[in-house]
């Protein structure tokens, strides 16, 4: 799979998702977790950073971020956004795919060490972040976890925001519209999304599955639902129409998110390097 297919999304991604009410509700929930797990002065590796919304926010909190994405256009938008926000000294934007990080090519040759500013092996990240489905574009999670284990310090945190299989909103919506295939697509071995004119394979690992793939090197801190009472992003128009209702549902979801674990459009999996 060639992640540059996502280039076509880069110019409109923020308008279509980031700046919508739903996008903001969801991202603020993720920022709450990031604020708890990552602190000023730390070094964080971000996977599939998209347009750099989280990298810039973390940098504004004093965190140094190596923001990677397989799409050169997404990386470009990230670099420009960091520059405009005045935090380019804390954001290093690099075109790098999950597959390269997982070891198909040696990631150490390409990642710039933000501590020394040299392109050399990094062994000292304080944490890793991947938000809003970056990890759904691969099903090779074990090699990725193994590579990350080499890049993260003992005690370092990993925050993964992943689309899981158990999404009642999606199943209910599509069943109600007679779209049976779409209603159950997350339970298929692999689904596909039409991105930039090509069909991109997407996988929906359960939180339990992902925990198992990371378990040799990372222990589980917690799993939270994200988008259980809130709809998936393609139904964001519902949130624009009934903002107060969905703001209340979001508050409810926030308080119960750890009880409902891996359910929802996404889940947030927090892990810690052994």
Ligand X SMILES: C[S@@+](CC[C@H](N)C(=O)[O-])C[C@H]1O[C@@H](n2cnc3c(N)ncnc32)[C@H](O)[C@@H]1O
Report the chain's C-alpha Rg in angstroms.
18
- For residue 63, the minimal CB distance to ligand X (Å) is 15
Q: Establish if 3 lies at the interface with ligand X (CB under 6 A).
A: yes
* Binder of ligand X out of 74, 77, 87, 268 (CB under 6 A): 74
Cα 241 to Cα 117: distance, rounded to the nearest angstrom:
47
| Strand stretches in the chain, DSSP E | 43-46, 64-69, 91-95, 125-130, 152-163, 191-195, 198-202, 218-226, 266-273
Q: Please, what is the Cα angle at 149 between 30 and 61, to 5 degrees?
A: 35
Cα 16 to Cα 233: distance, rounded to the nearest angstrom:
9
- For residue 134, the minimal CB distance to ligand X (Å) is 4
CA distances from 219 to 1, 145, 175, 274 (A): 30, 12, 37, 7
Q: Establish if 49 lies at the interface with ligand X (CB under 6 A).
A: yes
The single residue listed with the structure tokens 């004093």 is: 62
- For residue 112, the minimal CB distance to ligand X (Å) is 17
CA distances from 17 to 64, 68, 79, 116, 222 (A): 25, 20, 19, 35, 26
- For residue 176, the minimal CB distance to ligand X (Å) is 25
Give the nearer residue to ligand X in terms of CB position, either 73 or 176: 73
Coil/strand/helix, residue 67: strand
Q: Establish if 71 lies at the interface with ligand X (CB under 6 A).
A: yes
* Binder of ligand X out of 53, 170, 213, 265 (CB under 6 A): 53
* Binder of ligand X out of 114, 133, 236, 261 (CB under 6 A): 133
- For residue 138, the minimal CB distance to ligand X (Å) is 6
Which segment (57-65, 132-140, 147-155, 208-216) binds ligand X by CB under 6 A? 132-140
The single residue listed with the structure tokens 């990350």 is: 148
Sign of torsion over alpha carbons 183, 50, 254, 243: negative
Cα 15 to Cα 161: distance, rounded to the nearest angstrom:
21
* Binder of ligand X out of 43, 125, 132, 173 (CB under 6 A): 132
* Binder of ligand X out of 34, 56, 59, 98 (CB under 6 A): 98
- For residue 154, the minimal CB distance to ligand X (Å) is 26
Q: Establish if 70 lies at the interface with ligand X (CB under 6 A).
A: yes
Which segment (36-44, 93-101, 109-117, 144-152) binds ligand X by CB under 6 A? 93-101
- For residue 43, the minimal CB distance to ligand X (Å) is 18
* Binder of ligand X out of 33, 45, 50, 148 (CB under 6 A): 50
Cα 170 to Cα 102: distance, rounded to the nearest angstrom:
31
Which segment (36-44, 97-105, 224-232, 236-244) binds ligand X by CB under 6 A? 97-105
* Binder of ligand X out of 134, 156, 261, 264 (CB under 6 A): 134
Token pair for 168: 């009642």
Residues interacting with ligand X, by CB under 6 A? Answer: 1, 3, 6, 48-50, 53-54, 69-71, 74, 97-99, 131-134, 137-138
């Amino acid at each position: 799979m060639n992640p540059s297919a996502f280039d076509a999304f880069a110019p409109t991604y923020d308008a279509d998702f980031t700046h919508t009410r739903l996008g903001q509700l969801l991202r603020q929930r993720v920022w709450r977790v990031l604020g708890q797990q990552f602190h000023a002065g730390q070094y964080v590796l971000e996977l599939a950073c998209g347009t750099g919304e989280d990298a810039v926010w973390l940098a504004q909190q004093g965190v140094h971020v190596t923001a990677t994405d397989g799409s050169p256009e997404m990386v470009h938008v990230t670099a420009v956004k960091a520059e405009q926000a005045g935090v380019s000294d804390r954001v290093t934007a690099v075109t790098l795919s999950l597959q390269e990080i997982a070891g198909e090519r040696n990631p150490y040759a390409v990642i710039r060490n933000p501590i020394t500013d040299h392109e050399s092996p990094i062994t000292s990240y304080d944490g890793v972040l991947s938000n809003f489905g970056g990890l759904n574009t691969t099903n090779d999670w074990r090699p990725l976890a193994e590579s990350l284990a080499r890049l993260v310090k003992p005690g370092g945190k990993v925050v993964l925001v992943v689309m899981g299989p158990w999404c009642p909103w999606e199943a209910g919506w599509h069943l109600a519209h007679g779209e049976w295939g779409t209603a159950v697509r997350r339970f298929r071995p692999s689904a596909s999304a039409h991105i930039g004119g090509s069909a991109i394979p997407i996988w929906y690992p359960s939180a339990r599955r992902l925990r198992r793939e990371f378990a040799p090197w990372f222990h589980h801190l917690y799993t939270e639902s994200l988008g259980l009472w809130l709809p998936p992003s393609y139904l964001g128009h519902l949130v624009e129409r009934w903002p107060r209702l969905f703001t209340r549902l979001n508050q409810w979801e926030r308080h119960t998110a750890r009880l409902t674990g891996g359910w929802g459009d996404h889940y947030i999996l927090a892990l810690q390097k052994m």
